Amino acid sequence: MTTTSTLISERITADGRPWVLRHARPADAEPLAQLYAAVRAEGRWLVTPAAAVSPPSEAFFIAELIRADESAVVVAEAGGEIVGNALVMSDRDVSSRHVGVLSVTVADGWRDVGLGTALVAAAQDSVRERGLTRLALSVFPDNARAIAVYTRAGFVREGIRRRQFRQADGTYRDELLMAWFPESGAADRWRAGEGTP
C-alpha cells in the first residue's frame, strides 16, 4: 500500500492501466532486485549478465541506495508490483558531487505507455531539488525508444564509447553517453507540451 509520504502521483498509462509513481522505500529493495533480474534476463537492456548477480546482494545494495543521501529512487507501482524505477546517484567526491547519474528500468509489458517518460521527469525533479547541475546517463545505441524519451526530456548526446561492453557470446556493444542540464529549461518546455527541446 502506498503511503502519502512516498506518493508522487497516481496515473493512468496510455493504454488505460492505473499505476502510481512514488519514492522507493527500503522494503522495495527485493522487488526492485526482481525487476532488474527480469529485465536482465531479456539479454538486451542491462549490462551485467544474470549469472554475475546475486539477488540477495543486489537487494542489499538497492536498500543502501534507497537510504543514502547521495541517491534518489522512484518507482512505478501497479497492482502492488514494481514495474519500473529511476535511480539518480551522485558521487561523494566533492569535485563531482554536482553530477547525478541516471538509471531507468521498465518491465516488459509496461514499455511504450508513459512510465519511462514519468520516471525521467521524476528524476529531473529530484536533480533540481538536490541542486545538482548535470544529470548523465548511458544507454545502448540500439535502444531507440529510450533514446527518444531522453531526447524529448532535453538530454543531449555527448559521445559513444565503442566496444565498451563485452557480451557473454564474445561480441561487443557500444555505449551512448547523454546528459541533461537543469538550467537549459529543456525539460520544462517538454512538459509544457512544446515538443522536442
What's the pLDDT tens digit per position in 131-150?
999 999 999 999 999 999 99
Residue 196 has pLDDT above 50, yes or no: no
Residue 153, pLDDT above cutoff 80 = yes
Domains for the chain: give ranges and CATH numbers.
7-191 (3.40.630.30)
In the predicted structure, residue 5 carries a pLDDT above the cut 80: no
Return the higher-pLDDT residue of 167 and 21.
21
Question: Closest Cα partner for 29 from 2, 67, 70, 1?
Answer: 67
pLDDT for 131 equals 92
Residue 187 has pLDDT above 80, yes or no: no
- In DSSP terms, 179 is beta-bridged to 136, 156
Read off the pLDDT band of 69 (50, 70, 90). confident
Answer for the pair 121, 153: CB distance below 8 angstroms, yes or no. yes
Mean pLDDT of 78-98: 93
Residue 138 CA: distances (Å) to CA of 18, 64, 162, 165 = 29, 22, 12, 12
Phi, psi of 41 (to 5 degrees): -65, -20
Which has the higher per-residue pLDDT, 197 or 23? 23
Local structure of 24: helix, strand or coil: coil
Assess whether pLDDT exceeds 90 at residue 122.
Answer: yes
Mean pLDDT, the chain, integer: 88
Extract the C-alpha cell encoding 68: 543514502
Mean pLDDT in residue range 98-107: 96
Task: List, in sequence order, every residue forming a beta bridge with 86; answer none if it has no partner.
Answer: 74, 104
